[in-house]
């Protein structure tokens, strides 16, 4: 499905591990979105220098990479977030990123509202795990966090179980059912983003 005006779509995983299954799944999702006509930005959170959030650091000045992330998040009306599951929830990397990006920047008219990069975004969620649930518990925790930030979370989501056996040597999903599920999330996010843009 393509349109004359491609939807800008942001894709990122909540992991920076080199062989992360969630990063692999993010690449698969990004490819599926490009094939569906989206204008995809595939972000690697590990490329940004974000210290662990605390108010004392914030008082000394917002890190430059926080502003970069605010700009990127804000300019994409649709997102795909691929969340690993750590101890039944999302990762510290993902939470720290959201915490920083959602902070208001004092005396900055553009970023004085901390919710600006999040409000109204259409977000699809995916996860991958070697376990039988595929990281589903991380998504159940992530959805309320995103909704609290006024994102619209796609009802359709996908948790890839047995992720260690799910990809071929080229990083593609082996099972047709898994590819179809990823495509379903992608399509719902893009369709919703188009409707919201009308």
Whose tokens are 């990281």? That residue is: 135
Q: Which residues of 83-96 are buried (b: 16+ CB within 10 A; e: fewer)?
A: bbbbeebbbebbbb
Task: Tell me the average pLDDT across 15-19.
Answer: 95
Q: How far apart are CA 33 and CA 6, in angstroms?
A: 10
Could you tell me if 66 and 103 are in contact, meaning their C-beta atoms sit under 8 angstroms apart?
yes
- Would you kindly state where each structural domain of the chain is located, as residue ranges? 8-197
Give the model's confidence band at 3: pLDDT under 50 very low, under 70 low, under 90 confident, else very high: very low
- 8-197 adopts what CATH topology? Rossmann fold (3.40.50)
Burial of 196 (0-12, 13-18, 19+ CB in 10 A): middle
Instruction: Give mean pLDDT, residues 7-31.
Output: 97
Reply yes or no on whether the pLDDT at 36 is more than 70: yes
pLDDT digits (tens, 9 = 90+) for 141-190: 999 999 999 999 999 999 999 999 999 999 999 999 999 999 999 999 99
pLDDT digits (tens, 9 = 90+) for 52-71: 999 999 999 999 999 999 99
**Residue 160 and residue 184 in contact, taking contact as beta carbons nearer than 8 Å:** no
Kindly state the average pLDDT of the residues 126-137. Answer: 96
Q: At what angle do helices 176-197 and 21-35 cross, to 10 degrees?
A: 60
Quick one: pLDDT at residue 1?
A: 43
Token output for 40: 């995809």
Mean pLDDT, residues 3-28 taken together: 93
Q: Is 74 helix (H, G, I), strand (E, B) or coil?
A: helix
List helix spans (H) across the chain.
21-35, 55-60, 64-74, 92-101, 136-148, 176-197
Q: Is the pLDDT of residue 4 over 80?
A: no
User: How is residue 53 annotated by DSSP?
Assistant: P
pLDDT band for position 198 (cuts 50, 70, 90):
confident
- Rounded Cα distance between 16 and 180, Å, is 26
Residues in contact with 112: Cβ distance below 8 Å, sequence separation at least 6, in sequence order:
104, 105, 106
128 exposed, middle or buried (CB, 10 Å; 0-12, 13-18, 19+)? buried
């Amino acid at each position: 499905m393509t349109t004359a005006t491609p939807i800008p779509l942001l894709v990122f995983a909540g992991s920076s591990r080199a062989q992360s299954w969630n990063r692999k799944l993010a690449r698969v999702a990004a490819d599926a979105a490009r094939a569906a006509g989206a204008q995809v930005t595939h972000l690697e959170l590990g490329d940004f220098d974000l210290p662990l959030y605390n108010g004392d650091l914030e008082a000394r000045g917002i890190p430059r990479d926080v502003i970069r992330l605010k700009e990127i998040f804000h300019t994409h009306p649709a997102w795909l977030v691929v969340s690993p599951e750590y101890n039944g929830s999302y990762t510290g990397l993902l939470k720290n990123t959201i915490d920083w990006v959602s902070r208001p920047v004092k005396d900055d008219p553009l970023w004085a509202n901390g919710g600006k990069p999040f409000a109204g975004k259409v977000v699809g969620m995916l996860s991958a795990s070697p376990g039988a649930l595929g990281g589903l518990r991380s998504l159940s925790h992530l959805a309320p966090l995103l909704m609290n930030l006024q994102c619209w979370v796609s009802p359709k989501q996908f948790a890839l179980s047995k992720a260690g056996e799910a990809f071929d040597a080229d990083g593609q999903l082996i099972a047709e059912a898994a590819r179809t599920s990823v495509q379903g999330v992608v399509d719902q996010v893009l369709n919703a983003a188009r409707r919201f843009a009308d």
